[in-house]
Each structure stands twice: as structure tokens, then as C-alpha cells.
Chains A and B, each alone.
Chain A
Amino acid sequence: MDVELILKVYPYFLKAAWITVELSVLTTVLGLICGALGAAARLSRFAIVRFLGAAYVSVFRGTPALIQLFLLYFGGPQIGIQLDAFCAGVIGLGLNIGAYMTETMRGAIISVDEGQGEAARTLGLSRAQSFRKVVLPQAMRLMIRPLGVNINAQIKGTALVSAISVVELTYTAQRYIGSTYKPFEMFFLAGILYLAIITITGKGVAYLDRRVRLQ
């Protein structure tokens, strides 16, 4: 292994890793928003809203994320949506992970014992109050860990945007292979950096999980 080469290029990789972190954060935030809206839609009183939520989930989980990205980035301009690669990456991946998060959040909400909402309603709380004060706090505890799994997948999923030329970790590794002909070193270095990002995130999720459990 060419350690000297690694030492020479790693500052560029760190910069790229930062882009990967940015992508991860932004897509996670967008994903959480879409997930919350999606879960609310899936659990709505109105059949049409439930249908829209279900359609969102099945479309985004039922097609490859790469196709979704290509459709948005390359196909978008054809229907008047002009996005730069980074934005297309954030929106495409955010919507994609939002579909998974929808199911995670919905699953957590419906696995709160039915008797909890019933007890709250019996006391005279409205639907909204009972959801906010009783069901949601319990669902939160149940959803942090599985959301962590979604986020983990999402961080690795950011590698896909290399295909639309966003200069993140995977793209950078490929570019340096072109000039150095050292794929082992370059992918090894990229791999280490992904591992670092994911480990730190995992620790963060575990910390949050412990916090809400202690409350």
C-alpha cells in the first residue's frame, strides 16, 4: 500500500468527506420532514390522503434511488425543473429516504399500545391532544433506533450522487484513481472516511436513544 500517496491526497478526501457529511445532513433533515408528513398522511382520517401517502411510499421504495436521481437531474430540465447536481442529489435522496422514514415513523406510532390513546380519549383529551401528549412521546422512543438504521443507509446512499458528478467522497476517489492508477489506496481511504462518519453518527443515535429512554 502506497502510504505516501495516501498522505498526499487525504486533505482532498477530507474536503470531499465534508461534502458527504453535508449531503447526509441535508438529506436526513429533508427525509425526516418527508417522513413525518408521509406518516401523518398514512394515518390520516381521509382515504384520499392515506392513498397519497401510500403512493409516495410505494413509488420511492419501489424504484432504484439511482433512477430517481437520474430522472430528476437529467430528466428534470425536460419538464422545466433545472437543478444543480448538489440540489438534485439532496432532493432526490431526501425524498427517497423520506419514504423509508415514513414507514419507520408510522410503524412506531401504530406500535404504541392502543390502550394508551384510549385512556387519553377517555379522560376527555381530543385526538390531537392525545396524540401529542401520549402517543407521540412513546412513539419517539420506539422510532429513534430504526431511524438510525435509515440514516446509516442514507449516508452510504450518498455515494450514488457521484453518478451525477457531485464531488463527494466516492466521486473524488474515482477521480484520483484516474490520475494515480491506485484504486486500492483510493477506495481504502474513502472507505475509512465513510466508516468514520457512520461510526460517529451511530454513536450520536445511540446517545439520543439512551436520552429519550431515561426521560
Chain B
Amino acid sequence: MTQTHPFVEIRHAQKSYGKLEVLKDISLSVERGQIVAIIGPSGSGKSTLLRAINDLDPLTSGEVWLDGLQVNKSLPHRQYENHINEMRQQIGMVFQHFNLFPHLTVRENVTMAPKLLKKISDKEADALAEEQLDHVGMLERIDYYPSQLSGGQKQRVAIARALAMKPKLMLFDEATSALDPELVEEVNLVMKKLAEEHMTMIIVTHEMDFAASVCDRVIFMDKGLVVEEGPPELVFKNPTQERTQVFLRKHLEGAK
């Protein structure tokens, strides 16, 4: 049974805020090692969908599965807390505004969760921090505070922080949207590196070039629905749906 399961599967995800239906029956799956981009106009529900995957914004109905386990399983409160905390350890998330912990150094940002949750020693934690920060090119700043870093550096540390939990899946919600244009590339390079290492990733982005160059599949969302999905060559070059065409055209004009 688990063998036939896709690695990540969203089944009939539906979400409403009061009367506003933000996600309308979305189903999709992602294979291990796949990199999927979610694009679409503002307000189309991209962040909501992404945040439903680790149950940060719980779905109104529908299921999320990761590697044979249901993430949003219905359990009594206590048990659910334990279950979701375990699931979240396997799902890394990177936010638009980094959300680094400002009262902790870069090292402590990276080691806090592994120390608390995996009970590793200080020495192991230091080795882990060094390894992860080296990976994103931030080793020199290991004893800095977040306030002493540029936006691009902050985001690279945030990625290292997520990776330190050794997640099976990484979620990115517009990881480069808050950055000055000249700092975007350094973060994109880190994400490309992860792609080469076959990390499974779901990436919400407004950067079509980046999506085209890194992703195996592009999902275009509009008004809470998946309107079109396919390999980037097809979705970007030959979109079949009118809404996709309109969005891409507008986006190209905006980028100019």
C-alpha cells in the first residue's frame, strides 16, 4: 500500500475562511526528489495550500500525506500535538520574511530545534551547525546575530535552520520576494544546490525563470483551483488554459 503511495499527496484539499473559499478541492501529488513550483496571482491560495501541508493553516477538509503517513490525521488534541510535531520535524519550511530568531545567534538558530527535539550533545550540535551553515555558505557568520546579516544571508541561514532537522520535504513560500534584487541570486543558488541533491521541494514563487530552470513541474493556481499543471516547458511556453496565458502575459509585462 505504502509503495503505491505518492511521496507527498494532497487529497481534495478544501479551505474556507468564513464564507470565503480559498482552496476548492485541490488534489496533487509529488514524487520523492521532485521539485514543484506553484505559481499564480496574488490571493489565489498558494500560501494557504503550502501552509496546509504542515498544518500551519489547517484544511477545512481533505487530507495531506507524507511518505505513507497522514499529516493532518484526526486525533484527540494531546495525541495530535505529538503527532504533528513529529510530522513537522520532517517538513522544512522557509518563509518570505525569514523569521529567524533575533535573540539567538546564527549557530543557535540552527541548533535550537535539533538540540531540543533530537537530544543531541552540544558537540554534535556544533558540528551540525557548521555542516549546515557551510552548505549554504554562511559558516563565517556562525556567531553573528540575525540583525547583523543582509536579507540574502538571513534567508540562507533560515534554509540551514530548516535543513538541520534533516527534513524529507522542503516548502518555500516566496523565499526571495522580500530580497533586494541583487541578493536573490545567492538564495536561488542554494535552492539549486538542494535540487541537485534531490531534495523534494515545493516552491511558491513569482520568479518564472527560476521555476523554469529548477523545477520538474509547474502548478498554476487561480482562485483556489489548480488551473493547469505540467512540465515548465509546456506551462510556460504553451499554456493550454486562457487564465494561465493571461497571467503569464501580465507577469512578463510586469517584469519588463
Contact = CB atoms under 8 A, between A and B. Distances in A.
B117 interface: yes
A132 to B, nearest CB: 10
A119 B158 CA distance: 9
B97 A126 contact: no
**Most chain-B CB neighbours within 10 Å: which of A118, A127, A141?**
A118
Interface string B85-108: 110110111010101111100000
Given A121-B88, A122-B56, A122-B88, A127 B81 contact: yes
Contacts of B113: 120, 123-125
A137 B103 contact: yes
B217 interface: no
A129 B81 contact: no
Contact of B89 (A123, A127, A133): A123
A124 B99 contact: no
A143 to B, nearest CB: 14
A123 B115 CA distance: 12
B162 A124 contact: no
B101 A134 contact: yes
B206 interface: no
A119 B56 contact: no
A78 interface: no
Interface in B8-52: none
Interface string A103-144: 000000000010110111111111101000110011001000
Nearest to B165: A123
B161 interface: yes
Contacts of A119: 93, 95, 99-101, 158
**Most chain-A CB neighbours within 10 Å: which of B89, B91, B99?**
B99
Contact of B101 (A116, A122, A126, A215): A116
Nearest to A118: B56
A215 B105 CA distance: 10
Interface in B110-164: 112-113, 116-117, 158, 161-162
Contacts of A115: 95, 97, 99
A122 B51 CA distance: 10
B176 interface: no
A116 B101 CA distance: 7
A115 B146 CA distance: 15
A123 B102 contact: no
Contacts of B54: 122
B95 to A, nearest CB: 6
A113 B56 CA distance: 15
A124 B86 contact: yes
Nearest to A117: B99
B117 A122 contact: no
A124 B162 CA distance: 10
Nearest to A140: B103
A142 B228 CA distance: 47
A124 B81 contact: no
A115 B101 CA distance: 10
Nearest to B93: A122
**Most chain-A CB neighbours within 10 Å: which of B100, B101, B103, B112?**
B103
28 contacts: A115-B97, A115-B99, A116-B99, A118-B56, A118-B95, A118-B99, A119-B93, A119-B99, A119-B101, A119-B158, A121-B88, A122-B54, A122-B88, A122-B91, A122-B93, A122-B162, A123-B117, A123-B161, A124-B85, A124-B86, A124-B89, A124-B113, A125-B85, A125-B116, A126-B81, A127-B81, A133-B116, A138-B103
